[in-house]
Amino acid sequence: MRRGISFWGDQNHLVDFVFNFNLNDCMRNSLQDKRLAHLSEEEISQLLLEYFETDVPVSDLIEKYELAVTPSKLSSILPPEILPEHCPYCLDEKLVVARGSRTGYSWQTPRAFCPSCGHGKREPCRCGGCKSWRAEQTLLHKERIEAAVQAVQRSWRIDIAPSDVQFEVAVGILGLVRHSVGPDYAGVSPFQTSPVPLGPSETYTKQSVELLYHRGFLEIGLSSDESSLIFSEDLTQVVQYRPTAVSWEFMPANSLEERKQFVFGLEEIVSSGNWPEHWYDDVDHFWIAICVQECLHYFGYLLKQRYLEADRSDERLDQIIRRALKKFCPAQVCNLLWQSARDTVDFMATKGIPDRQAHAVCRGIFDRKVDKFVAEGWELRKSRRDFNCPQSVIASVFFHQFMQSSGDGFDTAPPVTRLE
């Protein structure tokens, strides 16, 4: 489109142009190229007319109007076209747009902008008006998110005595306190931001957090990052949350003193060794669960290291690991897992087995190794704990604080036989 057409075709527009030009010297100075300063309004209007509406060569126009510019640059010094639209922020100001060239060719479409505040000059717009509009929107958005989170907070007070909590809850709380509860005993930083895992596997961490959430010890925090939550379409409800990514609040309906008292009370029971009776029923199960999860996590790690994927919900693997733990400690089971992963890669390559079967192949090899080692009564070397699979905080709290063991449980067989 030739920019000049609307200007000359619409007489009101012409009036606007001249009117604005005369009225606002400041604007005129800011918009008008100094190479046109020696021309009167009428001369500029005449120049525009001749440039856009006649075929007079550009070089002739430059000479006639004594312009210090090359022919190809003439269009760039022409005053911008004034549009009928007003700037949304400066109500007296109309938007302007740079004129195209006579040929109508331009390598980019010129943007309409406000000469006063610069609105529209670039995308995203960085004018003051747009900046504060965005800030306002962000604030409104944050308020809506907070309101949606607040709506799912239950404000449950914890009145239960430390000795009455389930064993798993007790270990979970002390693990949490060690891992990510702030000095105010209230805010819990998102677990995934810590390099040390809270639980022995991601699955276990989620389960443990869910348990504490359902018992009311944890509440989804207002400072949770938006990406850790899934909202209803209208943003009024939290539909889902990612347990390892939200910011939690620890016992938020209780006072700071009550929170401290609870944690100290729990620690005291643990260190005194004078445990409530019901804890003794659960301790062996807990021990085994930790070992199984550590082995499962290691299995997934070994496959991932080989660019293969583990199936996290495979119950058969869980069963085989339990069977292995009847005879071996986790350090030995991990050795067998490592051997199995090594053999899996070789087996798959030689037999041309697709990657998606890696989990099943590795589980099968591991299964046969467990049988073989048990049947033959072979000595099995203990692996060292892999540097990339550090002991989790919950496991550490269990072995060191609860069991008062000097080791980390890795080279001790769990009490599997005692359960059967």
The nearest distance, CB 30 to Zn ion, in angstroms, is: 13
The nearest distance, CB 84 to Zn ion, in angstroms, is: 15
Q: Is the separation of the CB atoms in 310 and 304 below 8 Å? A: yes
The nearest distance, CB 135 to Zn ion, in angstroms, is: 13
Please give the span between the terminal C-alpha atoms of the chain, in angstroms, as a whole number.
87
The nearest distance, CB 315 to Zn ion, in angstroms, is: 58
For residues 91 and 375, which CB has a smaller minimum distance to Zn ion in the complex? 91
For residues 89 and 156, which CB has a smaller minimum distance to Zn ion in the complex? 89
Q: What are residue 249's DSSP bridge partners?
A: 187, 219
Task: Give 355's Cβ-side CA count (13 Å radius).
Answer: 7
Give dist(CA 132, CA 130) in Å, integer: 6
Number of neighbours of residue 122 by Cβ within 10 angstroms? 10
For residues 112 and 238, which CB has a smaller minimum distance to Zn ion in the complex? 112
Pair of tokens at residue 277? 């009776």
For residues 82 and 413, which CB has a smaller minimum distance to Zn ion in the complex? 82
For residues 132 and 236, which CB has a smaller minimum distance to Zn ion in the complex? 132
The nearest distance, CB 93 to Zn ion, in angstroms, is: 5
In total, the chain counts a number of residues equal to: 420
For residues 39 and 90, which CB has a smaller minimum distance to Zn ion in the complex? 90
The nearest distance, CB 87 to Zn ion, in angstroms, is: 3
What per-residue string of b and e applies to 129-154 under the rule 16 or more CB within 10 Å gives b? bbeeeeeeeeeeeeeebeebbeeeee
For residues 31 and 130, which CB has a smaller minimum distance to Zn ion in the complex? 130
The nearest distance, CB 26 to Zn ion, in angstroms, is: 14
Residue 12 CB-density burial (10 A; 0-12 exposed, 13-18 middle, 19+ buried): exposed
The nearest distance, CB 88 to Zn ion, in angstroms, is: 7
Nearest to 402 by CA among 268, 297, 261, 277: 268
For residues 92 and 376, which CB has a smaller minimum distance to Zn ion in the complex? 92
Q: What are residue 231's DSSP bridge partners?
A: 238
Beta strands in 191-302 (DSSP E): 218-220, 229-231, 238-241, 248-250
* Residue type at position 366: F
Give dist(CA 33, CA 18) in Å, integer: 16
For residues 27 and 374, which CB has a smaller minimum distance to Zn ion in the complex? 27
Pair of tokens at residue 166? 């389930």
Number of neighbours of residue 120 by Cβ within 10 angstroms? 19
* Residue ranges in contact with Zn ion by CB under 5 A: 87, 89-90, 114, 116-117, 119, 125, 127, 130
The nearest distance, CB 122 to Zn ion, in angstroms, is: 9
